[in-house]
Amino acid sequence: MVAGSLVAGALAAASGTAPAGASGGLTASAPGVTPTTITIGLPVAETGPAASTFETAPIGAQARVAYQNAHGGVDGRKLVLDIVDDQTNPSLIVAGTKDLLSKPAFGIVAFDSFFFNVAPYLQSQGVPVTGLALDGIEWGQHPYTNMFSYNGSYDSKQPVYAYGGKFLKSRGVTKFAVLAYNVSKTSTAAATGYAFSAKHAGIAVPYENLSIPFGSSDFTSVALAMKADGINGLYAGLVESSDIGLLTSLRDAGITLKAVVLSTGYGQQILEQPDADAAAQGAFFTSLTVPIENHSPATVAWLNAMAKYSNGAYRAGTVPDFGETGAWLSVDAMIYGLQHAGKNPTRASFEKAMETTTDYTAGGLLTAPASWAHFGTFPPTSCASLEQLEGKHFVPTPVVCGNLLPNSDQLP
């Protein structure tokens, strides 16, 4: 199988793929597809409360597209990427996405906290969507079979794996707290899931706060409440600016934690902000990619491509952040589907190709192969990759794995 990956373009070029502009039987087979181009759209929060996490997403997306085009595009067609800033505004993501489709765009890359607002419209139009299921539970619900998260099939009931509790117990956590945004079902489910896994491992969870206003930065009252409960472990499913505000409040309150697990923040940005770096010392950051610090062939090739094809926006030798990484992978999944949807792809052939995929790895970047063959379900086992901040460096921890815990659905 030819992977939708860093090596895909080179393999296509080596096999004699027709260059862009050569018709070779290529037709305008679907909206956004011409004999010479394929257009995809990316709505993203470049400004507003979520910008601390997503403002760099265009860097990763544009670099992935530029890499592909430099290696022949997809079946000789050049990729065109249209981007709209939704300003972290639920209404604007709907208007912006519809505008992208009017260009027209063949498919939409979903990497945004409020994407669930426009998902019903895209489903009704049969528009392919690739990205990360970080916004809502629609990714694993019928009728949203047009949506493919790059980390594989998604279960909207959010069952829980044992690895969270195993990791916390290994760090000596005895009293655990979880925080989530009040507007995000995925943030809530991730937090309650971590709490479930902790309890399964015999860890008390005296503090659960699932009503954090989106984009909050002042956590003084939260820190004092955690201190009163004797908390020594924490999971927070927040954007990066909130993470830093939380960690700063915890430090100011004199709270010492055995393990802090954060869903965002891994990347160069935190290293180059003295206050943020100081507040986050010792924290663990989740990652869906294999550690770049281990210098695997896949990560070396990826970082080289980022440096070469980002027009200087990504600096060689730095750590790609959540926005850059997630957008690269989200676009990579779209390219994978296009490569397997036939010489003249349609939206229906794209979805069919994705639904039969069981071994997508983004060219070796993912910690485990992703499958979209079992819609609405998680695989029976899963693993987590964590990076700990030590000084000015991230240090990968051993990958921790676990089975799905019975009776652990977090959402009805």
- Residue pair 363/301 in contact (Cβ under 8 Å)? The answer is yes
- With H, G, I as helix, E, B as strand and everything else as coil, classify residue 309: helix
Between these two residues, 164 and 24, which has the higher pLDDT value? Answer: 164
- The pLDDT of 258-269, averaged and rounded, is 94
pLDDT-derived band at 412 (thresholds 50, 70, 90) equals: low
pLDDT-derived band at 9 (thresholds 50, 70, 90) equals: very low
Any residues with CB less than 8 A from the CB of 251 and at least 6 apart, and which? 278, 279
Q: Is the pLDDT of residue 368 over 90?
A: no
List the domains of the chain with CATH numbers: 8-151+292-355 (3.40.50.2300), 163-287+380-403 (3.40.50.2300)
CA–CA separation, 256 and 270 (whole Å): 20
Q: pLDDT (tens digit, 9 = 90+) per residue, 82-91? A: 999 999 999 9
> Residue 254's pLDDT is what?
94
The two tokens of residue 187 are: 């943030």
The two tokens of residue 130 are: 């690739």
CA–CA separation, 241 and 255 (whole Å): 20
> Residue 16's pLDDT is what?
33
> Residue 2's pLDDT is what?
34
- Residue pair 384/170 in contact (Cβ under 8 Å)? The answer is no
Residue 91 burial (CB count, 10 A): 12
Phi, psi of 22 (to 5 degrees): -85, 120
Q: pLDDT (tens digit, 9 = 90+) per residue, 124-172? A: 999 999 999 999 999 999 999 999 999 999 999 999 999 999 999 999 9
Tokens 């069952």, residue located = 159
CA–CA separation, 72 and 269 (whole Å): 33
Q: Is the pLDDT of residue 22 over 60?
A: no
Q: Which residues of 307-341 are buried (b: 16+ CB within 10 A; e: fewer)?
A: bebbeeebeeebbbbbbbbbbbbbbbbbbbbbbbb
Any residues with CB less than 8 A from the CB of 312 and at least 6 apart, and which? none
Query: How many angstroms separate the Cα of 185 from the Cα of each of 42, 168, 203, 411?
Result: 22, 23, 24, 8
Q: Is the pLDDT of residue 14 over 90?
A: no
pLDDT-derived band at 291 (thresholds 50, 70, 90) equals: very high
pLDDT-derived band at 174 (thresholds 50, 70, 90) equals: very high
Q: Is the pLDDT of residue 112 over 70?
A: yes
